[in-house]
Amino acid sequence: MLHKFEASRLMLQFKSSHIFLLIILLLIQQHDSFGQMPGMMRRMQNMGGSSGGMRSAGGGGDSLSFEKRNFAADSVNVQFRYLDTSKYQSFDSSIDDFYKRVPLKPWLVNIGYNGNPTKSILFSPMRGIGWDAGFHALDPFAFTLHETRFMNTTKPYTELGYLIGSKAEQQISILHTQNISPDWNAVAQYRLITAPGTFNSQNSSHNNIRINSDFTSKNRRYHAYLIILSNSLQSAENGGIQDESFLINENPAYNDRFNIPTNLAPSIYSSRNFFKVNLLTGNKYTNRTLLYRHQFDFGKKDSVITDSTVVRFYLPRLRLEHTVESSNHSFLYLDVQPGGASSFYNTYYGIGQLPDTVRFSMTNKSLKNDFSFIQFPDAKNLLQYFKAGVSLINYRNLSGSNDDLFANMLLHGEYRNLTRNKKWDMLLYGEFIAVGRDIGNYNLKANLQRSLGSKIGTLQLGAENVNRSPSYIYNNATAFPIKFKSTISDENISNLFGVLFLKKLNISLQFNYYLISNYTYLKNFTEVDQYNTVFQILRAGVLKEIKLYRNFKWTTEVFLQSIPGNAPIHLPSVFTRNRIGYEGRPFRNLYLASGVELRYHNAYYADGYSPLTGQFYYQSSVKISNRPDIHLYNNFRIRSFTGFVRLENLNTITQQYGFGFKQNNFAAPLYPTPGLVFRMGIFWNFVN
């Protein structure tokens, strides 16, 4: 009876999904297409947290000039830039890589389905200084300040996205931007990710809202930026399956993965209701952030006279800047029916007497005020400047009976110079906490990029050194069942990095050399430890596009990582992703990318996962040895309409105990990844 009820509910969901699609289709009246950004260099810089980008390392930045478009130049134009950059970019309309459209990236493994906790298999340590809560397993599914795009558009622009997948997976995304005036733009963005998952108590529901706006006065002397963020991230927890042998088993009931016994929530059957997800056993992380930045310039007026018009602008020599940022973070673990998992709680967390509801929570409120001044040596080159400032940050952390009030004072400075000929781009950045609980924390970064010519490519070299306090839950008392250590030392991370892009060969080369001391980690479900010996990790990567025959090409990404001896870190030494297929324009209005995608990493001791704390921990008893992931994809674009169709995890096929896709790979011990998954995504952009 239960399965019949769930089947009928799933049918109703399926119909409602199609009604939603029909409504969106009726809204589409006009279409326009947008140019493709150079993607290879960007992918190499973003992959695995590489430090390759030229954006500011911290709260500083170079949001210095307003290079507004001439609205008479073209009929339709949409561009964007980030808060800490000044150069406008165009949207990426390429369709070769599905992962550009979803927050889950190929180098991230998640312990279940889309929306569940994740961890990168490419080494990328934490580099932020000051207060950090320590809960990062759901970070990829949140909107952030540094990814906020300030846009400029000649007409109102809207982008709609809808993705459906197996087991009633859904992703809805809406973005709208328009210029209220030539110097005032507003952006509103919403995203919903929800999926019941493959196994019991694996459902997730993530809601993200972002509203941002930027304004420049008519005399060009005053600039203002506003960002409002809201993230609500929910992921159910099942503690992993009880035994791997249940995956391929003679019992036909286990062919439905919802029936496989799990360590947590053994009596709860996950809801497949698309519109309402109740968190019965799992983690809920929320954060609300408001940022307001305003600037005032001192300098002189100037103008450019053309045949028919006079363009007036302002050349600043000194800029005063004030930024206020208010944040509220909340972290919650909840289990409303813990009785069936009493042995799990007792064995791994030492909780012998279970209450009716297991609940652990922590909240943090912070208020940051930053005062900076920016000086321009050359008034006609706003990308050469000196910046210096001070930030005052007040915190209040509440967890259980602990009410922790503290503050930090941070000093920061920056020098940036992008030469007029665009051949050299230099960044020197530093920030230091001079007063407060995290006194002694600092971040120093140097970055140099050189254009080798339009026909050759670019070279980027840099270095970074960070001294940071370990995450708050590792060295402070909280309600969460973590055996913290108040005496652990600051972590120190050094990183030498470089990226070389050769346009003629269509290849990017990347390297990162890390030197780490006082590495802090969990050595089991609850115990914090620190590795005081200095160790090193070398990571090298290559991204290459190879033309096979006419419109058939092979795109390969290969990363090699050194294994750090006795240090408490396990990494795969090889990770690769390859796409082989057709990419071209078979018809005038149709652009097609179709083929097979393979992803592989060698066997290694993957970190275990602690559901009550949302943390991955070091383990050396279970080695993960997976088959290569095999996916089929068929992506297409017709003018402003883009579609993605995927059939994933064909590698899980087996004949044992009957034909099926039951040979699951593993993301962590006792956490199998899904079997066969079908996904279809559709995205429209249109101009009103």
Q: What is the pLDDT of residues 481-490, one digit of tens each?
A: 999 998 999 9
Min mean pLDDT across 222-236, 254-268, 488-502, 607-621 is at 254-268
CB burial string 201-220: b at 16+ within 10 A, e below: bbbbbbbbbbbbbbbbeeeb
Q: Which residue has the higher pLDDT, 279 or 572?
A: 572
Cα 478 to Cα 134: distance, rounded to the nearest angstrom: 12
pLDDT at position 275, please?
57
Kindly report the CATH number that applies to the domain delimited by 2-687.
2.40.170.20
Cα 469 to Cα 128: distance, rounded to the nearest angstrom: 9
Cα 381 to Cα 393: distance, rounded to the nearest angstrom: 33
Asked if residues 551 and 545 have their Cβ atoms less than 8 Å apart, the reply is no
Burial zone of 687 (CB within 10 Å; 0-12 exposed, 13-18 middle, 19+ buried):
buried
Q: Which residue has the higher pLDDT, 455 or 362?
A: 362
pLDDT tens per residue across span 398-437 = 998 889 999 999 999 999 998 888 899 999 999 999 999 9
Amino acid (1-letter code) at residue 614: G
pLDDT tens per residue across span 160-210 = 999 999 988 999 999 999 999 999 999 999 999 999 889 999 999 999 999
Asked if residues 117 and 141 have their Cβ atoms less than 8 Å apart, the reply is no
Q: How much is the mean pLDDT over the chain? A: 88
Asked if residues 594 and 634 have their Cβ atoms less than 8 Å apart, the reply is yes
Helix (H, G, I), strand (E, B) or coil at 627: coil
Q: What is the secondary structure of 220-284 as a DSSP string?
A: S-EEEEEEEEEEEEEEE---SBS-GGGTS-S-GGGGSGGGS-BSS-TT-PPP--SS----SEEEE
pLDDT at position 586, please?
93
pLDDT at position 59, please?
40
pLDDT tens per residue across span 54-95 = 444 444 344 444 444 444 444 568 899 999 887 788 888 899
Asked if residues 46 and 99 have their Cβ atoms less than 8 Å apart, the reply is no
Residue 457 has pLDDT above 60, yes or no: yes
Report the percentage of the chain scoring pLDDT > 70.
87
Look up residue 172 and give its two tokens. 């809805």
Mean pLDDT of 370-396: 93
The CA radius of gyration of the chain, in Å to the nearest whole number, is: 26
The dihedral formed by the CA atoms of 391, 519, 84 and 463, expressed in degrees to the nearest 10: 110
For 25, the enclosing helix (H) or strand (E) is helix 2-27
Domain ranges of the chain: 2-687
Please report which confidence band the pLDDT of residue 305 belongs to, taking 50, 70 and 90 as the band edges. Answer: confident
